[in-house]
Amino acid sequence: MTKVAIVYHSGYGHTAVVAEHVAKGVKEAGGEPQLLPITGADANFDPILDAVTAADAVIFGSPTYMGGVSAPFKAFADASSKPWFSQAWRNKIAAGFTNSLSLSGDKLSTLSYLSVLSAQHGMIWVSTGLKPGASLGDTTVEGVNRVGSSLGLMTQSDNAAPDVTPGAGDLATARLFGARIAEATARWVKGA
Ligand SMILES: Cc1cc2nc3c(=O)[nH]c(=O)nc-3n(C[C@H](O)[C@H](O)[C@H](O)COP(=O)(O)O)c2cc1C
């Protein structure tokens, strides 16, 4: 069974709900998800770094704060310079997701950063592989990929509690995304 590490930060719980649904999708596709929350900018990141090194794939997740990743996620990314020196994460499958309040909210900036981080580590970035909600015929909160993101998973939550928002469509999209990353990882590992 392929191991998929899901490293994420969530200040107020919304991105955490998305991470849980990504994990469900990984499991449904036959992978073994490992949820690895970043608890703060001054946390000891060594256990997370080691778990990623032991995994076949990593999915990075961060809320979009001020048009980019949150400070705790960036602290983790900076700490990942440790495995970068030995290129310990080279050739793993990588992907990313972000959640924010606005429909756009500059989420693409966050996904761009997550893809660059993965590229610095020499990893293999996997897209959503999902057509936009507009093409699938549903841009409502029930729709799959209603925001139409290709580079990585984008979800949107209102200021209500995380058990209310993001909506059903975004959570279903998170499951499809997790399944795609697990399937890509299985193919990649088998090919190796
Ligand atoms: C410091 C801060 C900066 C934020 N910046 C943005 C932003 O640039 N774009 C946006 O759409 N929402 C922004 N938001 C809203 C959050 O993305 C939104 O509340 C999200 O659900 C938070 O995820 P979390 O509950 O996992 O922390 C910001 C929130 C905070 C606290």
Q: Which tokens is 175 given?
A: 């499951």
What atom of ligand 1 comes closest to residue 11's alpha carbon? Answer: 27
Number of domain units in the chain: 1
Cα-to-centroid distance, 25 and ligand 1 (Å): 24
Gap between the Cα atoms of 85 and 73, Å rounded: 19
Between strands 153-156 and 93-100, the pairing is parallel
> Residue 79: enclosing H or E segment and its boundaries?
helix 71-79
Domain CATH code at residue 156: 3.40.50.360
Please work out whether the CB of residue 11 comes within 6 Å of at least one atom of ligand 1: yes
pLDDT tens digits, one per residue of 15-42: 999 999 999 999 999 999 999 999 999 9
Which residues lie closer than 8 Å to 60 by C-beta, 6 or more apart? Answer: 7, 8, 73, 94, 95, 96, 97, 114, 117, 118
Residue 145 sits in which domain range? 3-191
Ligand 1 geometric centre to CA of 17 (Å): 14
pLDDT digits (tens, 9 = 90+) for 37-80: 999 999 999 999 999 999 999 999 999 999 999 999 999 999 99
